[in-house]
Chains A and B, each alone.
Chain A
Amino acid sequence: MSASSTLSGRSASLPEAASVSVPDALGRFGPFGGRFVPETLMDALHQMTMAYQEAKADPEFQATLNAYLKDYVGRPSPLFLAKRLTELAGGAAIYLKREDLNHTGAHKINNALGQVMLATRMKKTRIIAETGAGQHGVATATACALFGLECTVYMGEEDIRRQKLNVFNMRTMGANVVSVTAGSRTLRDATNEAMRDWMGSSVQTHYTIGSVVGPHPFPMIVRDFQSVIGRETKAQCLAQLNRLPDAVVACVGGGSNAAGMFYPFVADAEVEMIGAEAGGRSPLSGEHASSLTQGRPGVLHGSFSYVLQDEDGQTNDVHSISAGLDYPGVGPEHSYWKDTGRVRYESVTDAQALEAYNTLARREGILPALESSHAVAQAMIEAARLGNGKVVVICLSGRGDKDAYEIARLRGEPMG
């Protein structure tokens, strides 16, 4: 179906093939994206767009960012051949792009550093962020400590319960963590509260959004800062294997690690790309968070994209074992990639993710984040399908330390 026919105004149509020259000046990825926010935020978004264009073109900004990525984050992150996982999957060689080895333990720091540096450039003195699993919150608190900015992180009460370690670490680094008790008390509600804060604070405050969601220019900025993942992966594949991978797999909640991994490969038609969404407990409404495979185009959090909502346009409750994928929307560029057929999206259940978590722990000595475990589960299926002699790369977006308490609780052996 063409989503464009359901939009009022401009009829942006979907091209035959996905382009890398997106979004357009209005923030559109084909028909998706745009800015569906209150007028109060429009000027802040406009100013951010201008400031980002300048920063992007400024060699000094890019050099400084790259220096921090190297010496502070520890980039490039390794590309590692998971031999025993490959053996188990029985097919294509599986490589892990080790974003879990970044400082703060996930890909989120790539974007948080970039945006906090952009905020500094814009002379903002305060940073706000939303967080689900807490990885973006920790990354933002980290970047704020590094650059000496005031930091407030909005986090759902349910996620605070699930992710105590990250909450403790954010507070240790000086961030003010605000518990959000509205609605489902998860990432979606935290995003609402962060936007409400920004409505009244945008003059001195930058909103460091954590995924490729929200109004333009956020989906573009976050994708660009995360694209270091895909660029490195490409260079590492060429250096280590003398070829591009046959497939890359990443988990998709809002979709930032996936966007960062996929975007540099969009023009490489021979590279298959697969996004793993949260299939939760079941395909029933309220029991999963599979916006792309089960949702419809609609508006949420300032952007037109696939969303899980009812026939009245009310956002559905969603569920995932992983707080970071527990979100009813998805970045507009993923909707564009889905409808152009450039990326295939699959739903991976809680149970599959938990099994993959245990598998990677036992066979490779690596504890993946529950979010990334969804990608591991899907990659094993893809590897078996592709067969020997092929190469699959998993974006191992984060490490699993944060999930130990929740997994222990689910196993019936709670810690402390």
Chain B
Amino acid sequence: MNRIDTLFAHLKSEGRKALMPFVTAGDPDLATTAALIPELVHRGASLIEVGIPYSDPIADGPVIAASYARALRKGIKLSQIFAMLKTLRAEASGAVALTPLVTMVSYSIVHRHGVERYLVDAAEAGVDGLIVPDLPVEEAAGLVKLATVANLKLIQLVTPTTPPERALQIARTTTGFLYYVSVAGITGERKAFPPELAANVAWLRERTELPICIGFGVSTPEHVKLLSPVADGLIVGSAIVRRLESSDTKSRSELVNEIGTFVEELAGGLNQRS
């Protein structure tokens, strides 16, 4: 069984919600990423989204785009990222071994690497799913089939601009969980969410068995508290990645600890069973 399915089955049985922090692989270096992943698990993360740096990420706001640029300037390669994850999985035990890893990766990279080879390499590295933010459902048919064969989940996105019929079409070919984008726009911290967000997620929930997780803009423990009753999980990206910007003035352990503390605060906002 895929770790993502196990996670949501487990959370559902306990009436709990998932917290999914996003970290850029290789910012400021892979050793930090390798230290962050277990730290975030110990601090309450249920699943880790690993961002594969890309040179032209049009769905990303300035914080994640700059983080990708920093990692790429240091010459990060996909093979190094997979090697780091593979080592991490080989050495992990307990909660870290059970926590799903999902790569957020541009189709440019998947295509260049070769779709089948990407899936095989990701699975061998202990990855459980992938999000390809620039691959809409029309172009995803082949990847859906191949990912299933590789026992990887293909998590697809539904946005506020997605018409209802299309949202259902996306849900039908999505596995693992459905990624609901809170606002029409790029990734980045936001103060408020559209008033119709809860109703839109509720509409989908009545029509799909998939867990629904909300991302884009979720950046504080208050947001997590506000949105956790609505969703099965919450994805936090830019608010975490922004904390990597100060990497040159802090030691690795300080940085990892600081981000760990922030994730613990976020986890405190989850709507846990009383």
Contact = CB atoms under 8 A, between A and B. Distances in A.
Interface of A: 6-10, 26, 34-44, 182-183, 188, 192, 195-196, 199-200, 202-203, 298-302, 304, 309, 311-315
A39 B170 contact: yes
Interface in B112-127: 112-115
A313 B112 contact: yes
B185 A199 contact: yes
A199 B59 contact: yes
10 contacts: A8-B146, A35-B138, A36-B136, A38-B136, A40-B159, A192-B65, A202-B161, A298-B111, A299-B111, A313-B109
Contacts of A313: 54, 78, 106, 108-113
B236 interface: no
A301 B56 contact: yes
B65 to A, nearest CB: 7
**How big is chain B's contact interface, by range?**
35 or more
A10 B183 contact: no
A203 B185 CA distance: 11
A199 B58 contact: yes
B87 interface: no
B181 interface: yes
A309 B108 contact: yes
Contacts of A302: 58, 134
Nearest to A314: B55
A47 to B, nearest CB: 10
Contacts, number: 139
Contacts of B72: 314
Contacts of B106: 299, 313
B88 interface: no
B50 to A, nearest CB: 15
Interface string B56-82: 111111000110010010000110000
Interface in B211-246: none
Contacts of A43: 161-163, 166
A41 B160 CA distance: 10
A334 B59 CA distance: 26
Given A199-B185, A299-B107, A182 B69 contact: yes
A312 B184 contact: no
3 smallest A-B Cβ distances: which pairs? Answer: A8-B142, A200-B185, A313-B112
B139 interface: yes
A41 B133 CA distance: 11
A305 to B, nearest CB: 11
Contact of B136 (A6, A42, A314): A42
Given A34-B139, A42-B161, A300-B108, A192 B183 contact: no
A38 B112 contact: no
B186 A309 contact: no
A203 B66 CA distance: 27
A304 B139 CA distance: 11
Q: Which of A10, A26, A312 has the most CB of B within 10 A?
A: A312
Contacts of B77: 312
Nearest to A44: B161
